[in-house]
Amino acid sequence: MSVRNSKTLIAAAALSLGLSVSIGMSGCATKGFVRGELSSLRRDMESGQDALRTEMSEMRNSVDQALARAEAANGLAGDARDLALGKVGYREVGRYTVQFDYNHDEFDGAGELTLEEVASRLESHPEYVVDVYGFTDSQGSTKYNYELGRRRAEAVVRSLAERVPGSLHRYAAVSYGESSPAGGADREESSRRRVEISLVERVSTAHDDTISQSN
């Protein structure tokens, strides 16, 4: 639920309470009227909860799609990666890296510049979706590294969402921890402390073309 919707519900609750108290004191309202106001407020709140559940569902679907794209292009580069992504109906249009210091989930000035560039492209291309993958070095436990990778990925998503408001549904944050599905096992430890940002767009597949022709 957005902050604006939350404020609206809070304001509605305050207004409803104010009506029931002030009018009740003056003896000019019936219990039925008050019950009606509360019933209306309850419906508004339930509607807001439904919207929140829908947004969460969309985000889960987005994460699933991001994982599918990462698995399709696992360990590949160049034309091979493009071909693999094309088979699942996507094309990568840009890839960026944000580095992190040891055991940190905050990026530096160089990271800020990278995110400014990414945000500029996202503003110009509302059709792009953004897969954000968090990685760590091999130090620490597997569980801790997954958590650290998640914090790093979410820090990047938050920063991009602030730069391009109203686009949260476009992002998927995934942590790989110390594992390196994109062929990064030979990286130096310091360069493995990173977040990779993949900008992708939907493209037609042979399956889509077949359906289109049949129609």
Do 171 and 130 contact (CB within 8 A), yes or no? yes
Does the residue 97 lie in any domain?
yes
Judge whether residue 42 has pLDDT over 70. Answer: no
> Span 31-51, mean pLDDT?
59
Other Cβ atoms closer than 10 A to 3: 7
Residue 203 DSSP one-character state: -
Q: What is each CA distance from 203 to 64, 89, 192, in whole angstroms? A: 18, 5, 31
Find all residues with CB under 8 Å of 163, minimum gap 6, and list them. Answer: 115, 116, 119, 122
Q: State which of 59, 84, 100 marks the end of a domain.
A: 59
Mean pLDDT estimate for the chain: 74
> Span 102-113, mean pLDDT?
95
Task: Supply the pTM of this predicted model.
Answer: 0.65
Asked whether residue 116 falls in the same domain as residue 153, the answer is: yes
8 confidence band (pLDDT: 50, 70, 90): very low
Asked whether residue 24 falls in the same domain as residue 89, the answer is: no
Quickly tell me which residue has 């037609």 as its tokens: 204
Asked whether residue 46 falls in the same domain as residue 131, the answer is: no
pLDDT at 105: 95
> Span 18-39, mean pLDDT?
45
> Span 64-69, mean pLDDT?
82
The amino acid present at 90, given as its one-letter code, is Y
Domain carrying residue 29: 3-59
Least confident stretch, 16-25, 54-63, 76-85, 161-170: 16-25
Quickly tell me which residue has 């996507």 as its tokens: 90
Least confident stretch, 89-93, 146-150, 165-169: 165-169
Other Cβ atoms closer than 10 A to 152: 27
Residues paired with residue 97 on neighbouring β-strands, in sequence order: 196
Does the residue 213 lie in any domain?
no
Percent of the chain clearing pLDDT 70 (strictly above): 62
Pairing of strands 129-135, 171-177: parallel
Does the residue 197 lie in any domain?
yes
Do 160 and 118 contact (CB within 8 A), yes or no? yes
Sign of dihedral through CA atoms 4, 56, 167, 180?
A: positive
Asked whether residue 19 falls in the same domain as residue 109, the answer is: no
Asked whether residue 43 falls in the same domain as residue 21, the answer is: yes
Least confident stretch, 75-79, 144-148, 209-213: 209-213
The amino acid present at 140, given as its one-letter code, is G
158 confidence band (pLDDT: 50, 70, 90): very high
C-alpha to C-alpha distance for 156 and 138, rounded to whole angstroms: 21
Asked whether residue 101 falls in the same domain as residue 150, the answer is: yes
- Main-chain phi, psi angles of 99, to 5 degrees: -90, 155
Number of domains into which the chain is organized: 2
